[in-house]
Structure 1
Amino acid sequence: MDTALLIWNRVISHAGLLKNIISYRDPKFTSALWTNLHKILGTKLSFSTAYHPQTDGLAERMIQTLEDMIRRFCAYGLEFKDSDGFTHDWCTLIPALELAYKTSIHASTGKTPAMLEKGWNPKLLVDIHLTSSSFKLLLDKVRHHSNQSMNHAFEYAKRKWDKSHKTPEFKVGDLILVSTLNFNNIKRPKKLKNSFAGPFIIKACHGTNAVQVELSGELENKHPTFPVSLAKHYTSGDKE
């Protein structure tokens, strides 16, 4: 009787009499009473075979998806807390999860179950559209806020950089060391090579951002111009 009431309240009252029911070989459906009742109602009973998911593959896939959805809410037990801190049993999630499932596009059909069943999708919060003028106003506010945030972030990064980095001043004739950070073919393991090479004499200055040096030794075939961020003054205490 309980099964009959569930089918009436949850299925027939919404979708009408069923043409076909696929189920396990449960006594609720294999008994003579149920078999004769379905004959009268014109419903065909199809029973699945154990360990043969092809029979009811769509239902099995839906159940698997719903189990995964519930599992994400109930990772720490059969109860969950909402945003207000109230505790609920997992079964109270089913109506919301059913709505989410029915309004999600399925890869196999390219449509939502609601569209295939009813011909239309239920209206959701994301479907409430703003008027064009309201949307433009909102978009302008978002862009203005975004530009302000980006400017503040840039200014903060610049202040932080300027505080810890000072551009060295070089002139022609100075002895400098250049970073080996980007040199990959120096004849020693990368982890054992010196961080700087030199000293080398500055032959020319390209503004305040780059210097040209006279390279020798292993670096003789390298490009002679370096950004000042990869160079430092040579002192007698520095080693090559």
Structure 2
Amino acid sequence: MEYKDHEGYTHDRITLLPAVQLAYNTSQHSTTGKTPALVEKGWHPLWPVDHLKKNLLTIHSTAKYLNEMWKRACDTAANCIAEAKEYNKQMENAVEVKLTEEFSRKYPVFPVSLIKPYFQTEDNEFPSRKKNPTPPEIVEVDKSP
């Protein structure tokens, strides 16, 4: 399977699978709080960046290209986040956001529940579980004369 990147170059997707697998295996999973590689193997695989020596006089052309590609991806991600900022709060539960041209066909009003960051608490951990009330404190009364 081939695809074209943002510059119009055609690539074979199969050559990218090892990088995708490495990225998935070294990213933290929301359920376990650990990476799949650590859970499965007990250790983290090294990234290609870990193998690069910092004190070399010349850089391999592939490493230089990957570094440039990484910087472009980071810049693009930062621009996307900056462009979709909140600019008009419709009601208490709805927010209208400014979307980029790519998402201009979407309706720009979203529920606040999709926008707000979610913080897990013990109450949310098991929402269907009923909490038992705490037992009353037993007070000992001294009956000495």
Q: Do Structure 1 and Structure 2 share a fold, with TM-score over 0.5?
A: no
Q: TM-score, normalised by structure 1?
A: 0.19
More helix as a share of residues = 1
- Look at both structures and tell me which one has the larger radius of gyration over its CA atoms: 1
Q: TM-score, normalised by structure 2?
A: 0.29
More strand as a share of residues = 1
Q: Which has the higher contact order (CA 8 A, sep 6+)?
A: 1
